[in-house]
Structure 1
Amino acid sequence: DKEKIFEVLKDYYSKDDNTDRQISKWADIIMLFFEIKHGDKVIIYDKNFHVNATAEVIGDYEFDDDFEYPHVKKVKWLKIFDEPLNIKPVKNKLEKHIAGPPTVIKLTKNDWDIINDHATGKNEKNGVIGENAGMYKNLNLILYGPPGTGKTYETINKALEIIHPDNNYCSGKKRPELMDEFNKLLERKQIRFITFHQSYSYEDFIEGIRPESKPNGTIEYPVKDGIFKQMCFEAAYELITTKIKADTDIGYETKKAHVLDKLNTNDFETETASPYIFIIDEINRGNISKIFGELITLIEDDKRFGAENWLKTTLPYSKEIFIVPSNLYIIGTMNTADRSIALLDIALRRRFTFEEMMPDLKLLDEISIDGINLAGLLKNLNYNITALIDKDHQIGHSYFMKLKGLEIEEAKNNLISIWYKKIIPLLQEYFYNDWERLSQVLNKGFILKEKNRLKGNYLCNDIYEIKHFEYDQWEDFKHNLESIMAEAQEYNEENSNE
């Protein structure tokens, strides 16, 4: 019983200044360990939330002092991963909270299915994804992070690796080669790319009534299919076993009619099909509830056409049957400086896997301009921003990536341009009219302050403006960048000594 375990632990560990709360936590872990029984499934993960193996318990408790941790239960290894697999992308879908080790967590059957499917690269709910799909079994994915962290850049890589499931398709290929392949797939409409904005609507996305002028001067109001509806029918056509025989491309309307005919007569079989990718840039800028409407349910993995529990609906304008096929991947990007994940529509959050993309300083390690290490500069800038606002408003590495490989004089000129045209405007937006906090980030050498000269007893603000350094003032510009780095370093050292 837990009370007895707690007392034993307290007697043993009390000399080490451990709190009752900590000892109680250890007692909970021990209780859960002894509850594990023959036939239970086990997931082994590390402090980075990487799955190392999955197993099944096949024995009772044993004490074996040959092991560093002698309290053991024998297991049969179901899968041992050569490269530990990250389970962070599916954490938000789990019913139980996954804490960092050392701990024991009792998961639900649904949690096991989610993690095991993700870890093994299988999707038992639909037969569309092949064995090599691995981490891309998630049909709905959002890449989120601060501006400039390469979210849109990464959607292209992910799209290509889904369509070409060979291991590491993008590895070793130069960017122009990848972009050529991406553009070919855009032309073939196997990939679609759109950007959400405030005025984007259900009518643009699914279907809507659009006025159309006729040669005789009359105006008609036909129902026009939106871009997402078009791609759903294109992808669904590939899923249906029976195709229309033709020597040339039969076109969207013919494919759509064929799919609708099969759905209406319930006369179809599905097969493994080529993946289609729908990329939504800046997904959080649109009104998700209005754009997706009632179709938000249909994008769930097990509600898609081709899955075991697939659903269909009837659209309000055309009265046509509509489905979302299981070979259609949705990849979104989200700028957290615009909007936090916490503010996203709950229905959307529940149906998407989220993958965080933060500034990657390693990509800047080798870029140094006249002694200015860009990785160090960005690290210190972001430290200040995080302290004053939060980590969602950091500055991404991609702003500086174009400086890589440039000759020294060209690099200096471009760095000044990036600083004043990209970095400063972004910071001014973050700290709008708050010059005191902006000066804490930038260093006072980049900010000019002038006392107001109005006479009389007025409550007037001082006048601030950004100080611009031209190319021939490089040494002054460099000195102020170094000051940003030095001040942050001094602050870090002071805190570490407290």
Structure 2
Amino acid sequence: MEQQIITTNRLHEQENKVQEKYELRISANSIEASDARFSIDNLELGDMFTILDVYFKRSDGEIIRRKRNKGERKVSNQTMARIACQLFEDRLSKLSYEEKENFPVCKYSPKFELIKGIYTSVEEFKKRRNTLEYLTYTYDEGKMFVLYCWNIFSTIQFVQECLRRFGDLGDQFVLTYRDKIESEIKNNEIEEKELIQESKDYLNEYSHLLIESKNLIFRGAPGTGKSYLAKEIAADIISEGRVAKFSDLTPEQKQQVEFVQFHPNYDYSDFVEGLRPKINSDGTIGFELQDGIFKKFISKARKNYENSQKSNEEIKKEESVKENIKDFFSSIELGVDKFKTVTGNEFTITNIGDNHISIFIPNNPSANKLMLNTDELRLMLESDKNFSKVNEMPVFFGRKFATQEYSYIFSLYKEIKKKKIKNSNNRLNEDTLKKKYIFIIDEINRGEISKIFGELFYSIDPGYRGTAGEISTQYSNMHSDLTEKFYIPNNVYIIGTMNDIDRSVDSFDFAMRRRFRFVEIKAEDRLEMLSDLENDEIKNEAISRMEKLNKEIVQVEDLNENYQIGASYFLKLKYLTFDQLWTDCLKPLLQEYIQGLYNESEIMKKFEQAYGYKESSIGA
């Protein structure tokens, strides 16, 4: 009973302290504290307090607060350091590698060592300090500052150093805090979770390589499971370390991955964009500009990336416009309902596609059919501009002159605006606005790279992701928006695979080589693939035969590790015997490798012996 009274009294004391606020004013060379308990030599005290507010005050009295990213808490133990990064981002980024590495961050007390370092990635940070107590600040299209951060006082010395180097006399940070109450002490795990939210524990050892490099090519001998590995990595990253197999992703998650295989006839129009034949409503054949598989994928990823940078209000406005356009076209009868331009030209809508609206103009015998661009109508409705004249449209779309189509688009614009605009009721899930997209190119070396990628060599470079690498494509003069630029957003990752023995490897474009990180996958690196063979006895025998055969292959003077046999060949043992695998799959491949060598038959006999094939067992 006595213990209960003591505990209750302590709780009452703590609850009363909630109303008491303390303030630190941090300048370049001093700290003013309203809390008598504060000591620069005991920053561990910060564990006891909760931040109420933090801001930067210039010497002229101007107050600057944190420009929060989507999903970032209004105020946390990281906010003070984040404001410093926000204010001095340019100066911090221009520090040399050595200066960043030795930048003071925190010293808890005289008995502790000085914690130093501003790092460019979580991986670099963890090489020096193996802890989850850090913050990440992203700037300039994906570049990063990573530094130590734990309690509310742990970045005081960091911001002081920023003020000394980059601030003006009289500048200061102001930190307001209070004592934690009992419930906050018990629930301190919430703050810990915030500190590690950027750290993903991926299942696959290669996933971090892709995240760091953006573009990755797996090279090596055939059958080493490079394509399978690429899909495993995609599943790992897309699911944030929750699933290891591509087949385990949800249908929605699979939309974040695209797979294509290059071949000699693959070209720019397949990959990026090009003119494709199209049958018109009257049966005639015409051509229209269509996006290729890569550009379609990038558009999807770019939309997600750009939406993640927008406010909920902006996204809802765009959704509302889409819904209103859809409702408008659903309410009309094709070929029957009539509309008029401002000059009195009458027309009907005959077809509605994803990108175009087909119209029929009965009183214009010379050109009674037109295709209107759906995107132009959408952009006008999304704009805050209230169009009152057709001649306002060329300026809006960046054209010198109005086209015939503008009169009809303007008419539809006015018709939709007449309707009562409905606001979208779709609830936004922030998780859906922060996705990663992975594009896999199998046999990347089999295509003519310069022909397929064209001018995309520039924007595909990891150093020029985002608007820094935006370009005009070959067909940009045919786009509805002439100001439209193509770029690859930061949430896109590219994996390529290539066999080292493929003759086309020698001609692989050097400009493209510079833009990818190459990782060799050796025959023995992917033995875990054989776990798909449910019989352990078969699996162990497969590994033994593969190792012996590969050892014999590298003994041949004109062969090397690139000619070794990978584990994926042995997955055929699900439906073949060991002898069938040899005669039907491995023997023909190896014969092709050694074709033309003077001792071909002798080499094949050594291969057979190493593999364990006995000719007499055929048909047994």
TM-score bracket for the superposition, by shorter chain length = 0.5 to 0.7
C-alpha displacement at 1:78, in angstroms? Answer: 4.8
Counterpart CA distance in 1 for 2:220 and 2:437 is 25
Partner AA of 1:335 in structure 2 = N
C-alpha displacement at 1:76, in angstroms? Answer: 6.0
Structure 1 residues 213 and 386, CA gap change in structure 2 (3 angstroms): same
- Asked if 1:170 corresponds to 2:243, the answer is yes
- Stretches of structure 1 that go unaligned for 5 or more consecutive residues are 1-38, 43-53, 59-73, 80-108, 447-465, 474-498
1:128–1:273 contact (8 Å) kept in structure 2: no
Partner AA of 1:285 in structure 2 = R
Give me the TM-score of the superposition, normalised by structure 2: 0.46
2:458–2:469 contact (8 Å) kept in structure 1: no
Partner AA of 1:376 in structure 2 = S
2:560 aligns with one of 390, 409, 415: 390
Structure 1 residues 209 and 131, CA gap change in structure 2 (3 angstroms): same
Counterpart CA distance in 1 for 2:293 and 2:277 is 18
1:236–1:305 contact (8 Å) kept in structure 2: no
Q: Secondary structure at the match of 2:222?
A: coil
1:284–1:339 contact (8 Å) kept in structure 2: no
Match for residue 494 of structure 2? 330
- Asked if 1:295 corresponds to 2:459, the answer is no
Matches within 5 A, 1:432-451: 432-434=595-597, 436-437=599-600, 439-443=602-606
Structure 1 residues 184 and 119, CA gap change in structure 2 (3 angstroms): farther
Matches within 5 A, 1:100-119: 116=124
- Stretches of structure 2 that go unaligned for 5 or more consecutive residues are 1-95, 105-112, 129-133, 145-197, 203-207, 327-352, 356-372, 384-395, 399-431
2:440 aligns with one of 268, 272, 279: 279
- Asked if 1:126 corresponds to 2:289, the answer is no
Cα deviation 1:39-91 (Å, max 9, x = unaligned): 9749xxxxxxxxxxx96499xxxxxxxxxxxxxxx996759xxxxxxxxxxxx
Matches within 5 A, 1:21-420: 41=98, 56=102, 78=117, 116=124, 125-127=140-142, 130-132=198-200, 134-135=208-209, 136-166=211-241, 169-170=242-243, 175=245, 178-181=246-249, 184-186=252-254, 189-240=255-306, 241=310, 242-243=314-315, 244-246=318-320, 253=355, 273-305=434-466, 309-316=468-475, 318-319=478-479, 320-339=484-503, 343-360=507-524, 362-363=527-528, 368-369=537-538, 373-388=541-556, 389-401=559-571, 403=573, 414-420=577-583
C-alpha displacement at 1:204, in angstroms? Answer: 0.4
Partner AA of 1:278 in structure 2 = F
Match for residue 25 of structure 1? none
C-alpha displacement at 1:273, in angstroms? Answer: 3.0
Counterpart CA distance in 2 for 1:255 and 1:163 is 32
C-alpha displacement at 1:381, in angstroms? Answer: 1.9
Structure 1 residues 428 and 315, CA gap change in structure 2 (3 angstroms): same
Match for residue 334 of structure 2? none
1:207–1:224 contact (8 Å) kept in structure 2: yes
Partner AA of 1:245 in structure 2 = E
C-alpha displacement at 1:437, in angstroms? Answer: 3.5
Q: Secondary structure at the match of 1:374?
A: helix
C-alpha displacement at 1:272, in angstroms? Answer: 6.7
C-alpha displacement at 1:385, in angstroms? Answer: 2.4
Structure 1 residues 127 and 420, CA gap change in structure 2 (3 angstroms): same
Partner AA of 1:142 in structure 2 = I
1:155–1:331 contact (8 Å) kept in structure 2: yes
2:274–2:475 contact (8 Å) kept in structure 1: no
1:233–1:256 contact (8 Å) kept in structure 2: no
2:572–2:581 contact (8 Å) kept in structure 1: no
2:276–2:290 contact (8 Å) kept in structure 1: yes
Matches within 5 A, 1:403-482: 403=573, 414-434=577-597, 436-437=599-600, 439-443=602-606, 470-473=617-620
2:268–2:454 contact (8 Å) kept in structure 1: yes
C-alpha displacement at 1:334, in angstroms? Answer: 0.9
2:238–2:253 contact (8 Å) kept in structure 1: no
Cα deviation 1:412-458 (Å, max 9, x = unaligned): x5212211222112112212244723532542868xxxxxxxxxxxx
Structure 1 residues 443 and 77, CA gap change in structure 2 (3 angstroms): farther
How many residue pairs get matched?
A: 336
Q: Secondary structure at the match of 1:210?
A: strand
Partner AA of 2:319 in structure 1 = K
C-alpha displacement at 1:277, in angstroms? Answer: 1.5
Q: Secondary structure at the match of 1:321?
A: coil
Percent of paired sites with the same residue: 30
Counterpart CA distance in 2 for 1:125 and 1:441 is 58
Counterpart CA distance in 2 for 1:469 and 1:217 is 65
Structure 1 residues 321 and 416, CA gap change in structure 2 (3 angstroms): same
Q: Secondary structure at the match of 2:237?
A: helix
Give me the TM-score of the superposition, normalised by structure 1: 0.56
Partner AA of 1:185 in structure 2 = Q
Q: Secondary structure at the match of 1:377?
A: helix
Q: Secondary structure at the match of 1:330?
A: strand
Counterpart CA distance in 2 for 1:144 and 1:131 is 28
C-alpha displacement at 1:119, in angstroms? Answer: 7.0
Q: Secondary structure at the match of 1:153?
A: helix
C-alpha displacement at 1:153, in angstroms? Answer: 0.8
Cα deviation 1:270-290 (Å, max 9, x = unaligned): x97311111111111100000
Of structures 1 and 2, the larger Rg is shown by 2
